[in-house]
A and B are shown apart, each in its own frame.
Chain A
Protein backbone atom coordinates (compact mmCIF):
# COMPACT_ATOMS: atom_id res chain seq x y z
CA UNK A 1 0.00 0.00 0.00
CA UNK A 2 0.87 3.66 -0.13
CA UNK A 3 3.47 4.91 2.34
CA UNK A 4 3.18 8.27 4.11
CA UNK A 5 6.10 9.95 5.85
CA UNK A 6 5.86 13.14 7.85
CA UNK A 7 8.68 15.37 8.95
CA UNK A 8 9.88 16.54 11.32
CA UNK A 9 8.52 14.14 13.93
CA UNK A 10 8.81 16.77 16.65
CA UNK A 11 8.97 20.55 16.53
CA UNK A 12 9.31 23.12 19.30
CA UNK A 13 8.69 26.80 18.56
CA UNK A 14 8.46 30.11 20.33
CA UNK A 15 5.20 31.92 19.93
CA UNK A 16 5.26 34.07 16.80
CA UNK A 17 7.59 31.83 14.81
CA UNK A 18 6.76 30.32 11.43
CA UNK A 19 7.07 26.65 10.52
CA UNK A 20 6.70 24.22 7.65
CA UNK A 21 5.55 20.63 8.06
CA UNK A 22 6.07 18.12 5.29
CA UNK A 23 4.18 15.04 4.11
CA UNK A 24 5.75 12.73 1.52
CA UNK A 25 3.79 9.93 -0.09
CA UNK A 26 4.94 7.04 -2.21
CA UNK A 27 2.30 6.94 -4.96
CA UNK A 28 -0.24 9.10 -6.74
CA UNK A 29 -3.20 10.16 -4.61
CA UNK A 30 -6.85 11.02 -5.06
CA UNK A 31 -7.25 12.59 -1.64
CA UNK A 32 -5.01 14.31 0.90
CA UNK A 33 -6.08 15.81 4.19
CA UNK A 34 -4.26 17.66 6.96
CA UNK A 35 -5.59 17.29 10.50
CA UNK A 36 -4.71 18.93 13.80
CA UNK A 37 -5.13 16.81 16.92
CA UNK A 38 -5.38 19.08 19.94
CA UNK A 39 -4.18 18.10 23.42
CA UNK A 40 -7.69 16.80 24.23
CA UNK A 41 -7.52 14.31 21.38
CA UNK A 42 -9.93 16.02 18.99
CA UNK A 43 -9.00 15.65 15.32
CA UNK A 44 -9.81 18.82 13.45
CA UNK A 45 -9.95 18.99 9.66
CA UNK A 46 -7.55 21.66 8.44
CA UNK A 47 -7.42 21.15 4.71
CA UNK A 48 -8.68 18.81 2.05
CA UNK A 49 -6.02 19.37 -0.59
CA UNK A 50 -5.25 16.65 -3.16
CA UNK A 51 -3.53 19.32 -5.27
CA UNK A 52 -2.87 23.04 -5.35
CA UNK A 53 -2.72 25.62 -2.57
CA UNK A 54 -5.25 26.67 0.04
CA UNK A 55 -5.14 29.21 2.84
CA UNK A 56 -7.15 29.55 6.02
CA UNK A 57 -6.02 32.40 8.24
CA UNK A 58 -2.50 31.76 9.52
CA UNK A 59 -2.44 28.29 7.97
CA UNK A 60 -1.86 27.37 4.38
CA UNK A 61 -1.15 24.14 2.55
CA UNK A 62 0.33 23.22 -0.79
CA UNK A 63 0.23 19.81 -2.46
CA UNK A 64 2.46 19.07 -5.43
CA UNK A 65 0.88 15.81 -6.51
CA UNK A 66 3.34 15.18 -9.36
CA UNK A 67 6.23 15.29 -6.90
CA UNK A 68 4.33 13.42 -4.19
CA UNK A 69 4.49 15.82 -1.30
CA UNK A 70 2.42 18.29 0.62
CA UNK A 71 3.47 21.15 2.90
CA UNK A 72 1.59 22.74 5.76
CA UNK A 73 2.66 26.26 6.68
CA UNK A 74 1.95 27.77 10.06
CA UNK A 75 2.70 31.46 10.38
CA UNK A 76 2.89 33.53 13.57
CA UNK A 77 2.39 30.41 15.67
CA UNK A 78 0.31 30.57 18.83
CA UNK A 79 0.23 28.29 21.88
CA UNK A 80 -3.14 26.98 20.68
CA UNK A 81 -1.38 25.56 17.62
CA UNK A 82 0.25 22.95 19.87
CA UNK A 83 -0.71 19.36 19.20
CA UNK A 84 -0.08 16.73 16.56
CA UNK A 85 -0.49 17.37 12.85
CA UNK A 86 -1.44 14.40 10.70
CA UNK A 87 -1.39 13.98 6.97
CA UNK A 88 -3.73 11.33 5.50
CA UNK A 89 -3.85 10.22 1.88
CA UNK A 90 -5.98 7.98 -0.29
CA UNK A 91 -3.97 6.38 -3.07
CA UNK A 92 -5.28 6.25 -6.62
CA UNK A 93 -5.37 2.45 -6.61
CA UNK A 94 -9.11 2.19 -5.99
CA UNK A 95 -9.40 2.25 -2.20
CA UNK A 96 -11.28 4.97 -0.33
CA UNK A 97 -9.63 4.23 3.02
CA UNK A 98 -7.02 6.83 4.07
CA UNK A 99 -3.48 6.01 5.14
CA UNK A 100 -2.23 8.22 7.95
CA UNK A 101 1.29 9.42 8.57
CA UNK A 102 2.79 9.16 12.05
CA UNK A 103 2.30 12.87 12.63
CA UNK A 104 4.38 15.88 13.62
CA UNK A 105 4.17 16.80 17.29
CA UNK A 106 4.28 20.60 17.69
CA UNK A 107 4.82 22.46 20.95
CA UNK A 108 4.54 26.25 20.90
CA UNK A 109 5.95 27.98 23.97
CA UNK A 110 4.68 31.38 25.10
Chain B
Protein backbone atom coordinates (compact mmCIF):
# COMPACT_ATOMS: atom_id res chain seq x y z
CA UNK B 1 0.00 0.00 0.00
CA UNK B 2 1.58 3.28 -1.08
CA UNK B 3 0.85 6.76 0.20
CA UNK B 4 1.07 6.09 3.95
CA UNK B 5 4.53 5.42 5.36
CA UNK B 6 5.24 4.14 8.85
CA UNK B 7 8.62 3.97 10.57
CA UNK B 8 10.16 1.97 12.00
CA UNK B 9 8.78 -1.32 10.66
CA UNK B 10 9.98 -3.21 13.70
CA UNK B 11 10.80 -2.00 17.21
CA UNK B 12 12.03 -3.86 20.27
CA UNK B 13 12.16 -1.89 23.49
CA UNK B 14 12.41 -2.36 27.21
CA UNK B 15 9.66 -1.31 29.56
CA UNK B 16 11.60 1.72 30.76
CA UNK B 17 12.50 3.04 27.30
CA UNK B 18 10.93 5.96 25.47
CA UNK B 19 10.41 5.68 21.73
CA UNK B 20 8.20 7.16 19.04
CA UNK B 21 6.37 5.72 16.06
CA UNK B 22 6.03 7.90 12.99
CA UNK B 23 3.41 8.00 10.27
CA UNK B 24 3.43 10.18 7.17
CA UNK B 25 0.81 10.37 4.46
CA UNK B 26 1.24 11.79 0.96
CA UNK B 27 -2.40 11.54 -0.11
CA UNK B 28 -3.62 15.00 0.86
CA UNK B 29 -5.90 13.55 3.52
CA UNK B 30 -6.97 15.48 6.59
CA UNK B 31 -7.81 12.69 9.04
CA UNK B 32 -5.28 10.29 10.55
CA UNK B 33 -5.76 7.27 12.78
CA UNK B 34 -3.79 4.97 15.09
CA UNK B 35 -4.91 1.36 15.48
CA UNK B 36 -3.55 -1.44 17.67
CA UNK B 37 -3.75 -5.06 16.58
CA UNK B 38 -2.71 -7.70 19.07
CA UNK B 39 -1.96 -11.24 17.92
CA UNK B 40 -5.00 -13.04 16.49
CA UNK B 41 -7.28 -10.12 17.38
CA UNK B 42 -9.20 -7.53 15.36
CA UNK B 43 -8.15 -3.92 14.96
CA UNK B 44 -8.67 -1.63 17.94
CA UNK B 45 -9.04 2.08 17.22
CA UNK B 46 -6.79 4.15 19.50
CA UNK B 47 -6.80 7.77 18.32
CA UNK B 48 -8.28 9.87 15.53
CA UNK B 49 -7.10 13.29 14.39
CA UNK B 50 -9.17 15.56 12.17
CA UNK B 51 -7.30 18.58 10.78
CA UNK B 52 -4.70 18.16 13.56
CA UNK B 53 -7.32 18.11 16.31
CA UNK B 54 -7.81 14.95 18.31
CA UNK B 55 -11.40 13.85 17.94
CA UNK B 56 -11.24 10.35 19.38
CA UNK B 57 -9.37 8.76 22.26
CA UNK B 58 -10.62 5.26 22.75
CA UNK B 59 -9.76 4.94 26.47
CA UNK B 60 -6.09 4.49 25.68
CA UNK B 61 -3.65 4.41 28.63
CA UNK B 62 -1.58 7.55 29.11
CA UNK B 63 1.65 5.66 28.39
CA UNK B 64 0.62 6.17 24.74
CA UNK B 65 0.79 9.81 23.74
CA UNK B 66 -0.20 10.87 20.21
CA UNK B 67 0.98 13.98 18.41
CA UNK B 68 -0.26 15.42 15.14
CA UNK B 69 1.77 18.51 14.17
CA UNK B 70 0.09 18.82 10.75
CA UNK B 71 -2.31 16.92 8.53
CA UNK B 72 0.48 14.85 6.97
CA UNK B 73 2.29 13.61 10.07
CA UNK B 74 1.24 11.58 13.06
CA UNK B 75 3.35 10.31 15.93
CA UNK B 76 2.76 7.89 18.75
CA UNK B 77 5.08 8.49 21.69
CA UNK B 78 5.66 5.47 23.90
CA UNK B 79 6.93 5.39 27.48
CA UNK B 80 6.99 2.80 30.28
CA UNK B 81 5.10 0.27 28.19
CA UNK B 82 3.95 -3.12 29.43
CA UNK B 83 4.47 -6.53 27.81
CA UNK B 84 0.78 -6.60 26.80
CA UNK B 85 1.46 -3.56 24.63
CA UNK B 86 3.38 -5.77 22.21
CA UNK B 87 1.34 -5.61 19.02
CA UNK B 88 1.17 -4.36 15.46
CA UNK B 89 0.48 -0.61 15.37
CA UNK B 90 -1.19 0.59 12.20
CA UNK B 91 -1.61 4.12 10.94
CA UNK B 92 -4.31 5.10 8.47
CA UNK B 93 -5.50 8.26 6.76
CA UNK B 94 -8.61 9.41 4.94
CA UNK B 95 -10.46 12.50 3.92
CA UNK B 96 -12.92 13.69 6.51
CA UNK B 97 -16.26 12.57 5.22
CA UNK B 98 -18.64 9.63 5.48
CA UNK B 99 -17.83 8.33 2.02
CA UNK B 100 -14.04 8.54 2.14
CA UNK B 101 -12.03 5.30 2.04
CA UNK B 102 -9.17 4.67 4.48
CA UNK B 103 -5.62 3.92 3.43
CA UNK B 104 -3.23 2.09 5.74
CA UNK B 105 0.50 2.09 6.29
CA UNK B 106 2.44 -1.17 6.59
CA UNK B 107 2.49 -1.01 10.37
CA UNK B 108 5.11 -1.08 13.12
CA UNK B 109 5.55 -4.40 14.89
CA UNK B 110 6.37 -3.55 18.50
CA UNK B 111 7.84 -5.98 21.02
CA UNK B 112 8.21 -5.05 24.68
CA UNK B 113 10.83 -6.97 26.60
Contact = CB atoms under 8 A, between A and B. Distances in A.
A90 B98 contact: yes
A32 to B, nearest CB: 9
A8 B31 CA distance: 32
Contacts, number: 57
Contact of A41 (B37, B97, B101): B37
B102 A41 contact: no
Size range of the chain B interface in the assembly: 20 to 34
B34 interface: no
Interface in B15-53: 31, 33, 37, 42-43, 45, 48
Contact of A103 (B31, B42, B88, B94): B42
Interface residues of A, number: 25
A83 interface: no
Contacts of A35: 104
A86 B92 CA distance: 15
A45 B27 CA distance: 14
B45 A97 contact: yes
A77 B48 CA distance: 36
A92 interface: yes
B88 A30 contact: no
Contacts of A30: 98-99
Of A30, A42, A88, the most chain B CB neighbours within 10 A belong to: A42
B102 A88 contact: yes
B79 interface: no
Interface string B65-100: 000000000000000000000001010101011111
B98 A96 contact: yes
B106 A41 contact: yes
Interface in A40-67: 40-45, 48, 50
Interface of B: 1, 31, 33, 37, 42-43, 45, 48, 56, 88, 90, 92, 94, 96-104, 106-107, 109
